[in-house]
Amino acid sequence: MHDAPADDQLIRGMRGDQACLQCHTRFTGSRLTQHTHHAAGSTGSRCYNCHMPHTSYALLGAIRSHRVDSPKVVSIRGGGRPNACNLCHLDRSARWASERMVEWYGHKPAELVEEEQTVASWVLLVLQGDPVQRAVAIWHAGWMPARTASGTDWLVPHLAEQLDDVYSVNRWLAWQALKSDPAHGQLAFDFVGPRPGREAVWLRLRKEWALGSEGLDPDLARRTVLVPGEGLDRKRTEKLLLERDYREVSVPE
């Protein structure tokens, strides 16, 4: 698949499904949609997105895994790798993803802790994950396929919260994800500046979101730990933060 000096050393034409279908020839036409359970041509029918999702951290963002796997839902506790389904469907729980793996592919139900059955997996990653899990999750909040599949308005209060992450790279990623929304495209934020200056930005974002969020769907609010008209459900958030993985991580680049 490699042929320098092409971008990323990929041979021309290998950025799409042809890289896989040149061998897995049976997955074409109706057989493709039967396999993926997503519309042909959609993000959910792209081989790479399910079998080589963006689960590795490098170069100030998430990059595709270089290991070809079948999508599998596992608990994120102890540094578990996020599953491909919930990196696109950010607003859905791990249980929701596991149920589809059971129905579509005969997987065994995933062994999940209580909150993984009810709270959106992405929310748990940014609240409870280790620094790398948080980085991967935050990056996906700016990834257009995930934004299209999940909706975007509910992400704002969570991303505002990540502007205060102790790791500067995660603050930068949250800033970039916020700027992927045209409403915040010109957002100014010094991710390595003094905390009082950074605080003013996330407080303003939280206030603005609260003023326009009264119509947020109640089910979505529950899954994403939000209170319409306010912001993060502080009581639930503080409880979830008790289980955060605070291990220190250093990634030299």
The tens digit of pLDDT for each residue in 71-119 reads 899 998 877 789 999 999 999 999 999 999 999 999 999 999 999 999 9
pLDDT at 27: 85
Give pLDDT, residue 79. 72
Question: Which helix (H) or strand (E) segment is 236 a member of?
Answer: helix 234-241
pLDDT for the residue numbered 170:
97
Task: Give me the pLDDT at residue 17, please.
Answer: 84
What is this structure's pTM? 0.93
Query: To 5 degrees, how large is the angle CA 157–CA 159–CA 165?
Result: 120
- Looking up tokens 């899990």 gives 133
Residues of the chain with pLDDT under 50: none
Per-residue model confidence (pLDDT) at position 207? 96
Beta bridge partners of 56: 63
Angle between helices 234-241 and 121-128 (to 10 degrees): 60
Confidence at residue 112, expressed as pLDDT on a 0 to 100 scale: 94
Residues 6+ apart with CB under 8 A from 65: 52, 53, 54, 55, 56
Q: What is the pLDDT of residue 4?
A: 54
Dist. CA 121–CA 88, nearest whole Å: 11
Q: Which residues contact 54 (CB under 8 A, 6 or more apart)?
A: 62, 63, 64, 65, 87, 136, 139, 140, 143
In terms of Cβ atoms closer than 10 Å to its own Cβ (0-12, 13-18, 19+), residue 64 is: middle
Determine if the peptide bond prior to 145 is cis (ω within 30°). no
